[in-house]
Amino acid sequence: MAVLHAVSVGLFSFDDRVAEHWPEFAQGGKGDVTIRQLLAHQAGLSAIDQKIDMDALADPDQMAEAIAAQVPAWEPGTRHGYHGISLGWYESELIRQTDPQSRTIGQYFHDNIAVPLDLDFWIGLPDSVSEDRIARLQADWYRLKMVANISKMPKDFVKGFLNPRSLTARTFGNPAVLGKPARYNEPAMRKLELPAANGHGTARAIATAYGEFAAGGARLGISADVSNDIVRAAADPTDGRADLVLFDKTRFSLGYCKPWDGFEFGTPSAFGTPGAGGSLGFADPDRKLGFAYVMNRLDYHMFDDPRELALRTAVAGCL
């Protein structure tokens, strides 16, 4: 949403090359990667090979250096794979490089999305939010239990997750702390700005934000061109929809998932993002609907967690 706002106010365009705005990004053969390819998870940058520690997580300059040096895992545009952790940092640095105030994505989101919509949501939890308001994750994700729940996920995804050399394991395994959900119960972790993995807020706030984008985003200054572009899926990679990280046939566009066979979370115009443990948020412009489900007890379904699916089915029935 922050990136869509940035495009609407003219900080950059989807078809610009990332390196036009962030020259260091061109390292490792990435000079021609477009912003649209990056947001469609086609850039080959799902993994970060440089080891990331807690100090680096708290320092945007260190993170920018690490991700700029990354060499793509495939030729950009030819394949795609879920940039589940890395994409947030790439988006943040793109905004930081182009924003006159050099804001990180968490700051930019707060100023341009959260405040205008009065959202109870932060990327990096401020001291002003009491710990008493924060639900504790009930997280017992570990490898043995993942195997026991293999029926809920693509089997090749589980195999990849258990193989430390695989692209899947490298995507979710660095920084290592992000693979330990219980760490998110620590106040120090909550305060870090981890754009793809550390949002704190209510289901109502997420649904409100998606509802505004489902209605076109005019209250936020989202341009008509950008609003129309959101509902169109990006062109599939030239070598097909097989996701090299999730081992499913997925669809992405402008940072979001689009519905596909096997995960139909709205009308064809819908866009959104499933999250770890069973959460889901999405906008459906055809229905002018914003939807969100969050939970603190994590499960292993990659998509269509039964708890979320029951709620989504009931909403569809009401409509």
Report the percentage of the chain scoring pLDDT > 70: 98
* CB atoms near residue 177 (< 10 Å): 17
Summarised one tens digit per residue, pLDDT across range 192-240 is: 999 998 899 999 999 999 999 999 999 999 999 999 999 888 889 999 9
Cα–Cα distance between 250 and 147 in angstroms, integer?
Answer: 23
Q: For residue 232, what pLDDT is reported? A: 86
Query: What's the count of helices (H) and strands (E) in the chain, helices before strands?
Result: 15, 7
Number of residues that this document lists for the chain: 319
pLDDT, the chain, mean: 94
Confidence of residue 176 (pLDDT cuts 50, 70, 90): confident
Q: For residue 140, what pLDDT is reported? A: 65
Mean of pLDDT values over 128-145 = 81
Q: For residue 143, is pLDDT > 70?
A: no
Cα–Cα distance between 3 and 24 in angstroms, integer?
Answer: 20
The answer to whether 255 touches 3, Cβ cutoff 8 Å, is yes
Close Cβ partners of 234 (under 8 Å, ≥ 6 residues apart):
36, 39, 40, 42, 252, 253, 254
Mean of pLDDT values over 8-17 = 98
Q: Name the β-bridge partners of 318.
A: none
Q: Rounded to the nearest 5°, which phi and psi values hold at 137?
A: -65, 135
Report the percentage of the chain scoring pLDDT > 90: 81
Model confidence, pTM = 0.95
CA nearest neighbour of 308 among 254, 268, 267, 266: 266
CA count, 13 A, side-chain hemisphere, 257: 26
* CB atoms near residue 317 (< 10 Å): 7
- Please measure the distance between the N-terminal and C-terminal CA atoms of the chain and give it in whole angstroms: 25
Summarised one tens digit per residue, pLDDT across range 22-75 is: 999 999 999 999 999 999 999 999 999 999 999 999 999 999 999 999 999 999
Q: For residue 141, is pLDDT > 70?
A: no
CATH code: domain 2-124+192-318 is: 3.40.710.10
Cα–Cα distance between 79 and 75 in angstroms, integer?
Answer: 7
Looking at per-residue confidence, does 176 or 315 come out higher? 315
Q: For residue 307, what pLDDT is reported? A: 97
Mean of pLDDT values over 95-102 = 98
Q: For residue 142, what pLDDT is reported? A: 61
